[in-house]
Structure 1
Amino acid sequence: MLIQQRQPFKQGWSNLWDITCGGSAVVGDTSQQAASRELFEELGIHYNFDKIRPHFTINFEHGFDDYYLIEYDFDLNELTLQTEEVQAAKWASKEEILNLIKLKKFIPYYESFIAYLFESRHHYGSIRL
């Protein structure tokens, strides 16, 4: 999984690693437009989300997060990191991410959530067919 490290001056979870990438939709955006914009702003990656839907949505007290799981081949050296948000990016295995969580160097996601991201990246839904 491509993960990114938040800037030390970023409010909320400073300096911690996180899944790539996150942000908020603006008025008039579809979820796909917001995802495309945030991916480009934070990492310089152009990706067209128009023909895909989120793999899943998680609701919370003041909104929701749509999660898109995409496979996209690119060279890490070609990333353009948004200096206001991202200080580093790298590829990480599930085990590496879980270890970073234990070391308190990654946003403290549930272990089962990280496992679900890796397991469900090739299919939609919650049933194995």
Structure 2
Amino acid sequence: MEIVDLYDKDKKLTNMQVSRGVKVPKGYYRLVVHMCIFNKEGKMLIQKRAPHKHWGNKWDISVGGCAVAGETSGEAATREIKEEIGLDIDLTNTRCNFTFTFEDGFDDIYLINVDDIELSSLILQESEVIDVSWASMDEILTMIKNDEFIMYYESYIKLLFEFRNAIDMYSE
């Protein structure tokens, strides 16, 4: 079972840890990361989640996961990209573009611009990801309305696309 570090309300590391999946104690927070990978046409790489996962068989943004004990946000992002889709993108010394908070955690978002990637060259972690595709913002919003994509707010998806070319973007 994976162990995760816990943070205080100011995103400072505490000396507390819990097993992944265990409810986070009140006043503590875990760290998750999401990476949105965009190609030169401005389309986002999306993944279809494995059937047994929470939100199984639904499409999601490029890559996401939980930081494990001892990992920084950038280290977790680098590991998750490699594990889920087989890409080597080093984010260990890269700041996230923004952080969202949710009930029991922080969600660090990385926006990544890449040269074209052949989908057939990606190595999918079958226990997590069953398919990948490139999608425009409008395609993703339609998929959300059709209950094919995780139910993100429309404004969140628009924010990801609108900020993909902002200063401090990671580019391959």
Closer/same/farther in 2, CA of residues 13 and 43 from structure 1, 3 Å limit: same
Cα deviation code 1:67-99 (max 9, x no counterpart): 000012221110000010000000000000000
Alignment gaps of 5+ in structure 1: none
In the alignment, which of 104, 124, 127 is matched to residue 147 of structure 2? 104
> Counterparts of 1:84 and 1:6 in 2: how far apart (Å)?
9
Q: Is 2:87 aligned against 1:45?
A: yes
| Structure-1-length-normalised TM-score | 0.92
C-alpha root-mean-square deviation of aligned residues, in Å? 1.2
Task: Write out aligned runs for 1:1-129 (5 A).
Answer: 1-10=44-53, 12-73=54-115, 74-124=117-167
Structure-2-length-normalised TM-score:
0.70
1:50 Cα deviation from its structure 2 partner: 2.8
Any gaps of 5 or more consecutive residues in structure 2? 1-43
Instruction: Provide the C-alpha distance between the structure 2 equivalents of 1:13 and 1:38, rounded to a whole number of angstroms.
Output: 18
Q: Partner letter of residue 58 of structure 1?
A: F
Higher strand share: 2
Moved over 3 A (4+): none
Question: Which has the larger share of helix?
Answer: 1
RCO greater where, 1 or 2, for CA within 8 Å and sep 6 or more? 1
State how many pairs are aligned. 124
Shift of 1:124: 4.8
The one-letter code sitting in structure 1 at the alignment partner of 2:107 is D
Instruction: Check conservation: 1:2, 1:89, Cα contact below 8 A.
Output: yes
Residues 72, 92 of structure 2: 8 Å contact kept: no
Contact (CA 8 Å) 1:7, 1:86: kept in 2 or not? yes
In structure 2, C-alpha distance between the alignment counterparts of 1:9 and 1:62, rounded to whole Å:
23
